[in-house]
Amino acid sequence: MRKPVALLLLLAMTLLSACATQNPGANSPQRRIRIGFSMDTLAEERWQRDRDLFVARARELGAEVLIQAAAGDDDLQLSQAENMLRRGIDVLVIVPHNARAMAPVVTKAHEAGVKVIAYDRLILDADVDLYVSFDSERVGELQAQDMLRRVPKGNYVYVGGAPTDNNASLLRAGVMKVLQPHIDRGDIRLVSDQFTPEWLPERAGGQMAEALTKTQGKIDAVICANDGTAGGVVQALYQHGLAGRIPVAGQDADLAAVRRLVDGTQVLTVYKPIRLLATKAAETAVAMATGKEYVTNHTVNNGYGKVGAFLLPPVPVTFRTMRETVIKDGFHQESDIFGPAKPDQPSDGH
């Protein structure tokens, strides 16, 4: 009677082993990589692109992505990131709303054995594992260089980004690096220089209206920290009958901004090939999760210490260069920019 029992036990053990192989547990090396993507906001076109491109590349590499966006709420973003950690992610990628507010999450992630990538915006005062972004200071330099070519002397307005965003400080640093010698000589007068809380276009428009009132409309050039704030500025200029008469620069290559390049109400945007950024971040996150090496090409100081970084170069875009940049890359379709008409030559001022 013992042999049948032994055979039954052996058969049961074989079946259990087969089930375990087909359904690996949480600690199995075959478990799918889980990446947490904590985002400041998805309200702007640009961040929706980042999300979609990041998720697509991560999935190609076999990873699952958990995404939460905080709508510009620091406390909510902290809570969302901590929730991702509790759900068992392998790597946490953060687009911080506030450069300093997310520092405690980095500590909690490391306590859980999770590495942290700061995406596009640097997290300050924290032991971040990697920073992946574009060279924001270079963006500001490109804006100022283009504007000086157009307006070498006169009254300038600078409309900055959110004071809580480290990128806003870097953008302004790049602009001032170029403009300061001209300011010191007296060629350029910076008649308004303000940050814009939450990057709100309506706040940017208010700053522009104040500058126009202060100078009795004598503004010669406007540099904006992004295309959203540039849109607010252009609206203010419309209200004063000056849209298209005062050159405005922005950055991000939003569709609305590229359309403004066509109608002449904006003269420059700076294109950041987001596909490269999102792809690089996703690939690096997967490499981190699997213990593989990843590449850096810079280091930056975030107040805690030196952080390894991978910074991508930005690309200036004008009416004349949009076809060889944003259209060629498929970032925008020509029909979306121009509609049925496709002008071959820009008008004067572009």
Q: CA-CA distance, 152 to 221, in Å (whole number)?
A: 10
- Residue of 71, 86, 77, 73 whose CA lies nearest to 104: 77
Domains 33-128+273-312 and 136-272+315-338 are alike in CATH topology: yes
**236 Cβ partners below 8 Å, 6+ apart?**
204, 205, 206, 208, 209, 212
Token pair listed for 185: 């000589």
DSSP state of 326: I
Give the C-alpha distances (Å, rounded to integers) separating 309 from 80, 268, 273, 297.
25, 27, 17, 6
User: What are the beta bridge partners of residue 116?
Assistant: 92
In order along its 350 residues, the chain shows pLDDT tens digits of 444 444 444 344 333 333 333 333 334 445 789 999 999 999 988 899 999 999 999 999 999 999 999 999 999 999 999 999 999 999 999 999 999 999 999 999 999 999 999 999 999 999 999 999 999 999 999 999 999 999 999 999 999 999 999 999 999 999 999 999 999 999 999 999 999 999 999 999 999 999 999 999 999 999 999 999 999 999 999 999 999 999 999 999 999 999 999 999 999 999 999 999 999 999 999 999 999 999 999 999 999 999 999 999 999 999 999 999 999 999 999 999 998 655 544 444 45
Q: CA-CA distance, 117 to 37, in Å (whole number)?
A: 9
Give the C-alpha distances (Å, rounded to integers) separating 143 from 82, 97, 225.
38, 24, 9
pLDDT recorded at residue 25: 36
130, burial (CB in 10 Å: exposed 0-12, middle 13-18, buried 19+): buried
User: What are the beta bridge partners of residue 230?
Assistant: none
- Judge whether 111 and 85 are in contact, CB under 8 Å: no
Domain ranges of the chain: 33-128+273-312, 136-272+315-338
Q: Assign a CATH topology to domain 136-272+315-338.
A: Rossmann fold (3.40.50)
Q: Which SS3 state, helix, strand or coil, does residue 99 take?
A: coil
Q: CA-CA distance, 9 to 26, in Å (whole number)?
A: 27
> Domain 33-128+273-312 class?
alpha beta
319, burial (CB in 10 Å: exposed 0-12, middle 13-18, buried 19+): buried
- Residue of 242, 276, 269, 234 whose CA lies nearest to 253: 269
